Amino acid sequence: MSTGLVLLLITVATALVFDFLNGFHDAANSIATVVSTRVLSPRLAVLWAAAFNFLAAFFLGTAVAKMIGKGMIQLDIVTQYVVLAGLLGAIVWDVLTWLLGLPTSSSHALIGGYAGAAMARAMILHGWRAAPQVIVPGGWYKTLIFIVVAPVMGFVLGFGFMVAISWIFQRKSPRQVDKLFRKLQLLSAAAYSLGHGGNDAQKTMGIVAGALYTAGVMRPHDFAANWGRWHWPIILAAHAAIALGTYLGGWRIVHTMGSKITKLKPVGGFCAEAAGAITLFGTALAGIPVSTTHTITGAIVGVGTTQRLSGVRWGVATRIVWAWILTIPASALVAMLAFCVIRLFRPEA
């Protein structure tokens, strides 16, 4: 077996490990609300979310994957080692924030790591002034803008749904409302899990496609079009990995998302999940890589705000926002260091 093939297998395996950790780390996004409202037990909730994470492979296309694969970093600077270092940067940040119980964005950790590794290679080969040139501005403008827009959309929709439902059901007893939305929350949780799988698994799909392209396994025509014969193997592998990660779950973050930000009832859980799902469907189909974590957090805060501002635990929310701000630069720095270490042992990197 050639060295190049071994490196490709290691890179693809690392990408799928990241995808698994993405599902593990972001399990809270899909199930925190449905668990906190006690509509489903934790075990049934993760099964429900994992199933719809996988089914997303057949519904939301590959627009986000194509953006990650060729729309954010200049491909002429990318090597297998750049992809590998970028993944390591994202994995380290994900594990660290999981240990701290912080619901940060695995998506932004991935693109931060990818960019950091590419910039490190550019600086080593051409000097520090070359680092910004590896960035594709168009892809980054959308991503950076939606760091703010996605949670705001979630907030506005969550707030709006909660207000509308409160008005529509004002003559119903709390017990009647609770009974109805316990059933409806199963649908909203499923929809949100579809959006989560459709958005986050696609990011790993783009990285895997990029690895195959830089290894010469995928032709330029395949990469520009629909990945040729690699289309479905990439899609199914990425969705299976994220579904497995979701099934095994990260309960530290479930606790933060489901109970520490605000207390939810089934109607609130429904509104938050519906708001998150609509945001994720729209951005996935538009090819904009957004954070599912940011989106659902904004929606939960929007729902909590309809009760009263004190209904949101702003101290916890502030910690989460700081973790969001640090994610891209922190994962980029770790990836830069990882690439430099790889370069010591592999000068051809």
pLDDT digits (tens, 9 = 90+) for 325-343: 788 899 999 999 999 999 9
Domain boundaries, the chain: 3-345
- pLDDT over 80 at 264, yes or no: no
pTM for the complete prediction? Answer: 0.80
The C-alpha atoms of residue 93 and residue 69 are separated, in whole angstroms, by: 21
Token pair 């190049």 is found at 4
Angle at which helices 231-248 and 42-55 cross, to 10°: 170
**SS3 for 329-347, per residue?**
HHHHHHHHHHHHHHHHHCC
Which residue has better confidence, 192 or 25? 192
32-36, 147-151, 297-301, 332-336, range with greatest mean pLDDT: 332-336
Q: What's the pLDDT score for residue 6?
A: 85
Query: With contact defined as beta carbons under 8 Å apart, do 188 and 273 qualify?
Result: yes
The C-alpha atoms of residue 285 and residue 288 are separated, in whole angstroms, by: 8
- pLDDT over 90 at 122, yes or no: yes
What is the b/e burial string over 48-62, where b = at least 16 CB atoms within 10 angstroms of the residue's CB?
bbbbbbbbbbeebbb
- Minimal CA–CA distance to 153: which of 318, 291, 322? 291
Q: What angle do CA 189, 191, 197 make, to 5 degrees?
A: 100
Q: What's the pLDDT score for residue 141?
A: 84
- Minimal CA–CA distance to 299: which of 282, 274, 317? 274
Q: What's the pLDDT score for residue 254?
A: 55
Average pLDDT over residues 185-199: 87
Average pLDDT over residues 244-268: 63
Helical segments of the chain, H only: 3-25, 27-36, 42-55, 63-70, 80-100, 106-126, 137-168, 174-214, 220-224, 231-248, 251-255, 266-286, 292-305, 314-345
- pLDDT over 70 at 318, yes or no: no
Residue type, 81: Y
Residue type, 87: L
Confidence of residue 46 (pLDDT cuts 50, 70, 90): confident
- pLDDT over 80 at 218, yes or no: no
Query: With contact defined as beta carbons under 8 Å apart, do 48 and 118 qualify?
Result: no
- pLDDT over 50 at 258, yes or no: no
Average pLDDT over residues 269-297: 87
Q: What's the pLDDT score for residue 313?
A: 56
Which residue has better confidence, 173 or 308? 173
- pLDDT over 90 at 153, yes or no: yes
Confidence of residue 75 (pLDDT cuts 50, 70, 90): confident
- Minimal CA–CA distance to 116: which of 348, 331, 343? 331
The C-alpha atoms of residue 254 and residue 212 are separated, in whole angstroms, by: 35
- pLDDT over 50 at 114, yes or no: yes
Average pLDDT over residues 271-293: 88
> For all residues of the chain together, what is the average pLDDT?
81
The C-alpha atoms of residue 91 and residue 85 are separated, in whole angstroms, by: 10
pLDDT > 90 in the chain, percent: 18
Q: What's the pLDDT score for residue 223?
A: 57
